[in-house]
């Protein structure tokens, strides 16, 4: 009887020790999450394609699930899952003048499930770029990174999708 109590106590102590070690160390999220495949479309729609110098305009992004199955995606968050890009006609990027965010690892709460044919949208204005007179190329990129850099355990779409280019004229 006494031996049984000692054995039970030892098992409890080992279990508690194991749990303490488990929760004190970082979890290998890269091993827990799996990537998903699927076809996405990214569309960029500027409010205007011809503007006056110094005029701000809205830029709409639409990310659509063009696949036949549902896909888990990172929510549309500027500088996290998407970038809007303005380029000069020679291909050089126009400087982004707004602050850069401090980003923390994403969790399962940052995922959204997009059903086949469904879309999510984001809108931003052009005030973060100083567009002087001339022609510019406007585009967007949606991108997700590997789970090893995040705290996501659910499967999600991993990759990059680019929008088509649109020319913006500033007069």
Q: What are the tens digits of pLDDT across the range 101-112?
A: 788 889 899 999
Residue 132 lies in a domain: yes
Q: What is the pLDDT of residue 22?
A: 53
pLDDT in tens, 64-99: 999 999 999 999 999 899 999 999 999 999 999 998
Q: What is the pLDDT of residue 146?
A: 80
pLDDT at residue 150 greater than cutoff 80: yes
Residue 22 lies in a domain: no
The percentage of residues in the chain with a pLDDT greater than 90, rounded to a whole number, is 67
Taking the C-alpha atoms of residue 144 and residue 103, their distance in angstroms, rounded to an integer, is 13
Cβ neighbours around 82 below 10 Å, total: 23
**Which is more confidently placed, 131 or 146?**
131
Residue 37 lies in a domain: yes
The number of folded domains in the chain is 1
Residue 136 lies in a domain: yes
Strands of the sheet with 58-65, listed across from one edge: 40-46, 58-65, 119-125
Residue 75 lies in a domain: yes
Taking the C-alpha atoms of residue 159 and residue 48, their distance in angstroms, rounded to an integer, is 29
3-state secondary structure the chain: CHHHHHHHHHHHHHHHHHHHHHHHCCCCHHHHCCEECCCEEEEEEECCCEECCCCCCEEEEEEEECCCCCEEEECCCECCCEEEEEEECCCCECCECCCCCCCCCCEHHHEEEECCCCEEEEEEEHHHECCCCEEEEEEEEEECCCHHHCECCCCEECCEEECCCEEEEEC
pTM for this prediction: 0.79
pLDDT in tens, 27-58: 555 555 578 999 999 999 999 999 999 999 99
Residue 2 lies in a domain: no
The percentage of residues in the chain with a pLDDT greater than 70, rounded to a whole number, is 81
Cβ neighbours around 73 below 10 Å, total: 22
The CATH number that applies at residue 165 is 2.60.40.2970
Residue 24 lies in a domain: no
Residue 9 lies in a domain: no
pLDDT at residue 149 greater than cutoff 90: no
Residues of the domain holding 86: 29-170
């Amino acid at each position: 009887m006494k031996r049984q109590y000692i054995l039970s106590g030892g098992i409890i102590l080992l279990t508690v020790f194991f749990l303490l070690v488990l929760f004190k160390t970082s979890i290998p999220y890269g091993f827990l999450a799996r990537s998903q495949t699927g076809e996405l479309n990214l569309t960029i729609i500027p409010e205007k394609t011809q503007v006056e110098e110094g005029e701000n305009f809205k830029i709409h992004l639409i990310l659509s699930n063009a696949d036949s199955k549902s896909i888990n995606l990172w929510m549309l968050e500027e500088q996290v899952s998407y970038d809007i890009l303005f380029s000069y006609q020679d291909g050089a990027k126009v400087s982004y003048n707004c602050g850069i965010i401090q980003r923390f690892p994403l969790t399962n709460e940052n995922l959204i499930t997009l059903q086949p044919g469904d879309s999510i949208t984001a809108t931003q204005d052009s005030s973060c770029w100083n567009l002087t007179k001339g022609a510019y190329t406007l585009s967007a990129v949606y991108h997700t990174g590997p789970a090893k850099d995040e705290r996501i355990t659910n499967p999600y779409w991993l990759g990059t999708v680019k929008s088509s280019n649109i020319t913006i004229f500033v007069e």
